[in-house]
Homo-oligomer: A and B are copies of this chain.
Amino acid sequence: MTRAAPPKRHLAAEIAAAIRSGDYRAGEWLRQVDLEESLGATRFDIRAALAELALRQTVEHVPNRGFRVAQPDRQRLRDMLAVRVLLECEAALGALPRLDEAALRLLERKADAFDHAVADGTTTSQSATNLDFHDTLYGFAPNRALVEVAVEIRDRARLWPLVLWPSVRALRRSAEGHRDILAALRSGDPARVAQSVRAHILGSAANDPDLEKLVQD
């Protein structure tokens, strides 16, 4: 056999990453021929991946026209943030009683990793370490289904604000948010945990001036 055989790729994730990195702008049409060439995949797989992204509302599908990057209005973005707050707060609260000293230490290391990525790291490493912190925290929650839904909704809403991310100020604020959450978790106060998670999520959209005031609602 000439090739080692590419075992399996998740093309939908690759396309989503391409959108996230700015290769395609909101509202732009995604031509299947371009994707099949740039990703080196067959048209069949491209279509399956696009259908998957359409189901996740990452892209919009217009019959006989094609797929284009979804462009949510401000109201919808606000609404999605509220849903994220609801789900992720619940996940964090579920994790709270299950956190022992070792778990808190682990979370601190994850927070450190994000700090380092903010200081000197690529956008992708910043994103990865950030997600790692949250996933680790939610991983302690007993309700597995809740965590899955929370992560799914987060990733669904994550596409658009991330384009605006490279603001150093927002990154520093995000790092501080992790510390706030850790402090709240150590205090053991559920209300404080919920508040810190809420502020952190809403703050992630705060680099957009129009969304800034959402934090104070």
Show the binding face of A for B, using Cβ within 8 Å.
48, 51-52, 55, 75-76, 79-80, 82-83, 86-87, 90, 143-146, 149, 153
Contact = CB atoms under 8 A, between A and B. Distances in A.
A97 to B, nearest CB: 15
Contacts of A48: 48, 51
Q: Is the interface of A mostly helix, strand, loop or mixed?
A: helix
A12 to B, nearest CB: 9
Contact of A86 (B55, B82, B87): B87
B83 A86 contact: no
B145 A80 contact: yes
28 contacts: A48-B48, A48-B51, A51-B51, A51-B52, A52-B55, A55-B55, A75-B144, A76-B144, A76-B145, A79-B143, A79-B144, A79-B145, A79-B146, A80-B145, A82-B143, A82-B145, A82-B146, A83-B87, A83-B143, A83-B145, A83-B146, A83-B149, A86-B86, A86-B87, A86-B90, A86-B146, A149-B149, A149-B153
A15 to B, nearest CB: 15
Nearest to A145: B79
A79 B145 CA distance: 6
Contacts of A144: 75-76, 79
A191 to B, nearest CB: 17
A174 B14 CA distance: 45
A80 B144 CA distance: 9
A16 B155 CA distance: 26
